[in-house]
Amino acid sequence: MTDQLRGDVVLRVNGEDRVVNLDNRSTLLDALREHLRLTGTKKGCDHGQCGACTVLVDGERANSCLLLAVAAEGREVTTVEGLADEDELHPLQRAFIAHDGFQCGYCTPGQLCSAIGMLAEVADGMPSWISADLTATPDLDDDEIRERMSGNLCRCGAYAGIVAAIREVADG
Amino acid sequence: MRAFRYARATDPGAAAALVTSQPDAVYLGGGTNLVDLMKLGVLRPGLVVDVSRLPYDRIEHLPDGGVLIGGAARNRRVAHDEGIRRRYPALARALLSGASGQIRSQATVAGNLLQRTRCPYFQNTATPCNKRDPGSGCSAIPGAHRDLGVIGTSEHCVATHPSDLAVALAAYDAVVEVRRPDGAEVLVPIGDLHRLPGDTPWIETVLEPGDLVTGVQLPPPPDGAVATYRKVRDRWSFAFATVSVAAVLSTDQVRLALGGVAPKPWRLTATERMLAGTDPSDDDVRAATRAAFTDARPLPENAFKIELAADLVAAVLRDLRTAGAVR
Ligand SMILES: Cc1cc2nc3c(=O)[nH]c(=O)nc-3n(C[C@H](O)[C@H](O)[C@H](O)COP(=O)(O)OP(=O)(O)OC[C@H]3O[C@@H](n4cnc5c(N)ncnc54)[C@H](O)[C@@H]3O)c2cc1C
Ligand code: FES
Ligand code: FES
């Protein structure tokens, strides 16, 4: 218990522990961008409505704009900066380039993190709202991709390329 | 946002002691509603007690066929649980229909049930709202109420409760487990958790200060039941319900709960009685659904919800029957 309005928070980001002194009001998004200078993660709406701020927390998708940084202590955070393996882009990053999965690129870090979390859900057998059979192995057709990615808006409307890029990686 | 102290609870007693130590203290689950409302200035807690890591994340299937779901269990995990998908499909579907993959991953069961209305006037501190600012008036009644309630509302408030999960739990006769600050456990039927606004719309649930939602208990679904959740909304994904229905159908029972129409999940008890054990036509179902709205107080922009509900219930019951599982 702290009587303080701020304090040191240990954030585990992209495999490294980082100590930051934060006001309790800081969201994970602001901590990443303003304190850790990891500006890949973007702020769109700041209210959970656009997905630009999506990161992975313990491997699952999260809107970093709605997560208090103090509440993320001890959880494993992965941002877009943590997706590539040294100079080797993540296959999904390569697929986004190959399929023109962006125009301005503002939504892209969130799209990438969200898609990685989504593909892990699918690999784990998770159905979606539009899956006809809740217990069958998911069949990730384009409508399933759209439904599962509906938390990520693209103001440029690059959806066709985004779906194609995700499709390519899903099909292996 | 107002500055606040933060504490991560390690046991429920300490959490309750903290949250009752000052009147402006709140519990924090996934934060997807609370943090949003704090940013908007709608909620201004001075102390935030994080209960998301308390050991209430179980999903335990019981020998009698029921299930216990912890209050801290995340929505995604509940929807993903194989037993839930097989035995409580309306629950899995309701969760899957809600919000986005990101929000479902973080949102907890307790937080979902206790999330606040999406009424635009409640969320906007510049406008009067009896829920947020008692006595200031309801802006929605003369204003933008198209998405708000038609039944169970009052002249002081027409807000709806937005949870899809709660609607499915109502159809499954779920009971909410509450831990009182003195350690006592009380069970609250899901239909009694939320209160109707009457002339005190700012009192939204039967919970007292410090009450912690530790889980929900679902009795076994009726023998041979088929069930589903359907949600009508303005876009096909990532939107709150205009009207939604959870339906559980067996040879001798029909259970129906609606979302999007009322300040709480709305069981259609009159309709259920009229339809139980019958083989109704679509028009019979529509008439029986309308019968549950005799006490409705629709407003000019949202009266359509009653006909929409009638059509929706008819369509869902027809589909559940033709799915072949109910004879
Ligand atoms: C863009 C957007 C779209 C959404 N769409 C939908 C939708 O379509 N359908 C839907 O159903 N929901 C929707 N939601 C709402 C979402 O489901 C809720 O925000 C979420 O379920 C809340 O859970 P949480 O754990 O994050 O709660 P929190 O935000 O942490 O808490 C919510 C409330 O519950 C209280 N609380 C939390 N845990 C406990 C506990 N154990 N005991 C007592 N009190 C507690 C808190 O004090 C707070 O008042 C949407 C949200 C957003 C931002
Ligand atoms: S910035 Fe977080 S969802 Fe839009
Ligand atoms: S590429 Fe511009 S917002 Fe998506």
B282 within a domain of the structure (yes/no): no
* Alpha-carbon span B160 to B163, nearest angstrom: 9
CATH number at residue A150: 1.10.150.120
Ligand 1 pocket: which of B6, B26, B28 to mutate (most atoms <8 Å of CB)? B28
Of B38, B80, B102, the CB nearest to A151: B102
Q: A12 with A73, same domain?
A: yes
Do B235 and B241 touch, CB atoms closer than 8 A?
no
* Dihedral sign from CA coordinates of B311, B316, B319, B321: negative
* Within a domain: B183: no
Selected for mutation to probe chain A from B38, B50, B100, B236 (highest A CB count within 10 Å) is B100
- Structure-derived torsion over alpha carbons of residues B104, B110, B113, B114, reported in degrees to the nearest 10: -110
Please, are residues B165 and B91 in contact by the beta-carbon 8 Å criterion?
yes
Span from the CA of A54 to the centroid of ligand 3 (angstroms): 14
Dist CA B100 CA A129 (whole Å): 11
User: Closest chain A residue to B235 measured between Cα atoms?
Assistant: A150
Cβ contacts of B206 within 8 Å, gap of 6 or more? B188, B192, B193, B195
pLDDT tens digits, one per residue of A64-114: 999 999 999 999 999 999 999 989 999 999 999 999 999 999 999 999 999
Query: Does a structural domain hold residue B150?
Result: no
pTM metric for this prediction: 0.98
Q: Does B319 touch chain A if contact means CB atoms closer than 8 Å?
A: no
Distance A67 CA to ligand 1 centre (A): 12
The answer to whether residues A78 and A13 belong to one domain is yes
Give the span between the Cα atoms of A100 and B112, in whole angstroms.
37
The CA distance from B112 to B114, in Å, is 5
Q: Note the pLDDT tens digit of each residue in A95-104.
A: 999 999 999 9
pLDDT value of residue B312 = 98
A57 plus A109 within the same structural domain? no
Is there a single domain that holds both residue A12 and residue A61? yes
Confidence of residue B324 (pLDDT cuts 50, 70, 90): low
Are residues A68 and B1 in contact, defined by beta-carbon separation less than 8 angstroms? Answer: no
Q: Which of A106, A111, A149, A159 to mutate to test the pocket of ligand 3 (most atoms within 8 A of CB)?
A: A106
Which residue among B114, B169, B177, B194 has the greatest number of ligand 1 atoms within 8 angstroms of its CB, and so is best to mutate?
B114
Q: What is the per-residue pLDDT across B233-276, written as a single tens digit (0 to 9) for each?
A: 999 999 999 999 999 999 999 999 999 999 999 999 999 999 99
The dihedral through the CA atoms of A24, A27, A31, A34 has a sign that is negative
Task: Report, as an integer, the average pLDDT of B137-146.
Answer: 98
H/E element holding B50? strand B47-50
CB A52 within 8 A of CB A45: yes
B18 falls within a domain: yes
**A26 & A49 share domain:** yes
Distances (CA, A) of B17 to A16, B34, B86, B213: 35, 20, 39, 15
Average confidence (pLDDT) over B32-56: 98
Same domain, A125 and A153: yes
Residues pairing with A23 in the sheet: A6
ipTM tops the 0.95 cut: yes
Q: Is B22 on the interface with A (CB under 8 A)?
A: no
* pLDDT over 80 (residue B125): yes
Contact between B214 and B70 under an 8 Å Cβ cutoff? The reply is yes
In a domain, B105, yes or no: no
8 Å CB contact of B1 and A25? yes
The answer to whether A129 and B97 are in contact (CB under 8 A) is yes
CA pair distance B316, B244, nearest whole angstrom: 10
Helix (H) / strand (E) element for B26: namely: strand B25-28
- pLDDT for B323: 78
A78 and A59 assigned to the same domain:
yes
Task: Find the distance separating the first CA and the last CA of chain A, reported in whole Å.
Answer: 47
Q: How confident is the model at residue A2 (pLDDT cuts 50, 70, 90)?
A: low
Closest ligand to residue B109's CA: 1
Give the tokens for residue B83: 């037993």
Count CB atoms within 10 A of the CB of residue B323. Answer: 11
What mean pLDDT comes out for the span A25-35?
98
Q: What is the pLDDT of residue B5?
A: 98
Q: Which atom of ligand 2 is nearest to the CA of A151?
A: 3
Question: pLDDT digits over B152-201, tens only?
Answer: 999 999 999 999 999 999 999 999 999 999 999 999 999 999 999 999 99
Q: Residue A106 has which token pair?
A: 């503002």
Residues A78 and A102 both lie in one domain: no
Element (H or E) spanning B259, and its range? Answer: strand B254-259
Residue B19 lies in a domain: yes
Residue B193 φ/ψ, nearest 5 degrees: -65, -50
Cross-strand partners of A7: A22
- Euclidean distance between CA atoms B254 and B285, whole angstroms: 11
The domain that contains B14 carries what CATH number? 3.30.43.10
Q: Is B251 on the interface with A (CB under 8 A)?
A: no
CATH classification at residue A68: 3.10.20.30
Domain count of chain B? 1
Residue B267: helix, strand or coil by DSSP? strand
Give the integer Cα–Cα distance in Å for A13 and A25: 19
Q: Which of A82, A104, A127 is the last residue of a domain?
A: A82
Q: Return the number of other C-beta atoms located less than 10 Å from residue B64's C-beta.
A: 8
The token pair at A126 is 């998770």
Tell whether B252 is covered by a domain. no
B311 has a pLDDT exceeding 70: yes
Q: What is the per-residue pLDDT across A142-162, written as a single tens digit (0 to 9) for each?
A: 999 999 999 999 999 999 999
Handedness of CA B181, B182, B187, B191 (dihedral sign): negative
Per-residue pLDDT at B327: 36
pLDDT-derived band at B326 (thresholds 50, 70, 90) equals very low
Instruction: State the residue range of the domain holding A20.
Output: 2-82
| Domain boundary pick from A47, A82, A117 | A82
**Which band of pLDDT confidence, cut at 50, 70 and 90, is reported for residue B277?**
confident
What is the amino acid identity at position B267? R
- Taking each helix axis as running N to C, give the angle between helix B164-171 and helix B89-97, from 0 to 180 degrees, rounded to the nearest 10: 170
- Residue B325 DSSP symbol: S
Tell me the pLDDT tens digit for each residue of B55-91. Answer: 999 999 999 999 999 999 999 999 999 999 999 999 9
How far is Cα B172 from Cα B221, in angstroms, rounded to an integer?
Answer: 7
Radius of gyration of chain B (CA): 19
Mean pLDDT of all residues in chain B?
A: 97
Domain count within chain A: 2
Q: Single out the residue in A31, A57, A82 at which a domain terminates.
A: A82
Range of the domain at B32: 5-53
Give the closest of B8, B36, B96 to A128, CB-based: B96
